[in-house]
Amino acid sequence: MQLQSAAKIPGDVARASEVARVLIKYGLAGWLSGTEWGPIRRMLTSHTGEHLTDQPFPVRMRMALTDLGTTFVKLGQVLSTRPDLVGPEVAHELSHLQSGTPADPPDVVVATVEKELARPIAECFLEFDREAMASASIGQVHRAKLPNGRAVVVKVQHPGIEGTIRRDLNILSSLAALAERQEEFKRYQPVAVVREFRQTLMRELDFRREMRNLQQFRQNFAADHTVVFPKPYSDLSTGRVLTMQLLKGTSVGDMAQLQHRHIDCEALARQGAGVFVQMIFRDGFYHADPHPGNILVLAKGQVGILDCGMVGRIDDDLRERIVEILLAAADRDAPRLAEVIAVITKAPPNLDRGGLSADLMEVFAQYGTQAVDRFDIGGALSSVTRIMHEYNLFMPECHSVSAHVVSG
């Protein structure tokens, strides 16, 4: 497959050329030399190098994805959760990607809401703030009040964003096919990653899926008063408009405000971790985009969880494997941990199990003597992830449907 296969109309050709220019600008396009597509070959031939290429590879990747916009930023955000796939350094750099997008004009937003809800906005809401409180890659959020006075937020999809994303996904698929032929990129399984990403992003475009996810989380945690998920209003929601309860709180990333509120951050971390442990091990259904902006500390100390468009599902078999990993780590049994990791990642027959076991033993030696209250769990997990990356062992998200990130 060649890149031109994704560019069947003039708009696609222009966008594909733009993608290539950005990759070249950041020194990320050497692997495209095998393409026969004229525009790419001409740009590669005329490229003389820019000072930006002096930046480390992870930084150049983040900058390039930012320049390329919505679809590529979303891809980078997904990859930031896969240090086993792209490596800890790249994953850390991609975690800084921001999906901010200029807000649509108020008249455009009102027209979208009225078209989707099939009635004037004044009949839907007592108040509707026409200025967005936030705008991201797929949609923007507005404060509003229901006729009964309850405060809500209304998430409105950007007009035309679906067409833009579909076009970019086609280009990404062609780029992935080219990258798959290169030894330096083949280990990252670009075709499988993009295929999974396409499913995730197309589902995220349907706000009804996020509404159903919210309903599922609220049902799962109905008896737990320490965590709150926004209540969605189905009669004021469609595939492109989502109305839900407004949660007011402090982002867990705002350390200054948390300290001002005298929040016990260690207790908060345990509380939040407990919620996600229940999602994974009790329900097999978890929030798959838990960055600080999506987790709030509410007035009564409850944890509020936002943006449930991206969720993950884990089957019983994978849950059992994860438990085996935790037990092996707790027992500092490196050979057993190596074997479970090999099974869960579907390691090749020629895996150096002895070497993997020895490297894991080094992690135990470094972190195993730490007191429980001082245990650096983040450092330990990063070390294990780094080892998995070095041995080309990838978690099954891109291998099977056992544990895949979806949006509904």
Answer with the residue of higher pLDDT: 158 or 97. Answer: 158
pLDDT at 48: 38
Whole-Å CA distances, 173 to 33, 59, 354: 17, 23, 37
Give the lowest-confidence range in 119-133, 331-345, 381-395: 381-395
Residue 192 lies in a domain: yes
**What is the distance between the alpha carbons of residues 350 and 327, in angstroms, rounded to a whole number?**
26
**What is the distance between the alpha carbons of residues 337 and 360, in angstroms, rounded to a whole number?**
8
pLDDT at 233: 98
**Do 181 and 328 share a domain, yes or no?**
no
- Catalytic-labelled residue, pool 206, 289, 307, 359: 289
Bridge partners (DSSP) listed for residue 241: 156
**What is the distance between the alpha carbons of residues 140 and 156, in angstroms, rounded to a whole number?**
5
What single DSSP character describes residue 133?
S
Render 66-117 in DSSP notation, one character per residue: HHH-HHHHHHHHHHTT-HHHH-HHHHHHHTT-----PPPPHHHHHHHHHHHH
Is residue 53 predicted with pLDDT exceeding 80?
no
Give me the number of domains the chain comprises: 2
Question: Which range, 47-56, 103-112, 388-397, has the best average confidence (pLDDT)?
Answer: 103-112
Task: State residue 309 phi and psi, 5-degree precision.
Answer: -70, -25
262-290 per-position pLDDT tens digit: 999 989 998 998 999 999 989 999 998 88
Whole-Å CA distances, 289 to 34, 127, 286, 311, 319: 36, 30, 9, 7, 19
Percent of the chain with pLDDT over 90: 44
Residue 129 lies in a domain: no
Phi-psi region of 131 (alpha: psi -120 to 50; beta: other; left: phi over 0): beta
Boundary of a domain, candidates 171, 204, 237 = 204
Bridge-based pairing state of the strands 241-245 and 227-228 = unpaired
**What is the distance between the alpha carbons of residues 195 and 180, in angstroms, rounded to a whole number?**
13
Band of residue 368 on the pLDDT scale cut at 50, 70, 90: low
Residue 274 lies in a domain: no
Cβ(334)–Cβ(360) below 8 Å: yes
Is residue 248 predicted with pLDDT exceeding 50?
yes
pLDDT at 143: 98
Residue 65 lies in a domain: yes
Residue 55 lies in a domain: yes
Is residue 402 predicted with pLDDT exceeding 60?
no
pLDDT at 264: 94
pLDDT at 239: 97
Residue 222 lies in a domain: no
Mean pLDDT of the chain: 84
* 289 tagged catalytic: yes
pLDDT at 401: 33
pLDDT at 376: 65
Residue 136 lies in a domain: no
Cβ(233)–Cβ(216) below 8 Å: no
Using DSSP, state whether 157 is helix, strand or coil. Answer: strand
**What is the distance between the alpha carbons of residues 23 and 30, in angstroms, rounded to a whole number?**
9
Tell me the mean pLDDT in the region 53-61: 77
Question: Which range, 221-230, 339-348, 377-386, has the best average confidence (pLDDT)?
Answer: 221-230
- Residue in this structure with the two tokens 């407004």, named with its chain if needed: 246
Residue 245 lies in a domain: no
Tell me the mean pLDDT in the region 379-398: 78
Q: What is the C-alpha radius of gyration for the chain, rounded to an integer number of angstroms?
A: 23
Domain holding 175, by residue range, is: 3-97+161-204
Tell me the mean pLDDT in the region 341-354: 89
**Do 35 and 182 share a domain, yes or no?**
yes
pLDDT at 407: 39
Report how far Cα 301 is from the mean position of its chain's Cα atoms: 26
Whole-model pTM: value is 0.77
pLDDT at 11: 58
Boundary of a domain, candidates 153, 178, 204 = 204
Cβ(289)–Cβ(79) below 8 Å: no
**H-only helix segments in 125-264:** 161-180, 183-186, 190-204, 207-220, 255-260
Boundary of a domain, candidates 150, 179, 204 = 204
21-49 per-position pLDDT tens digit: 777 767 665 555 555 555 555 544 433 34
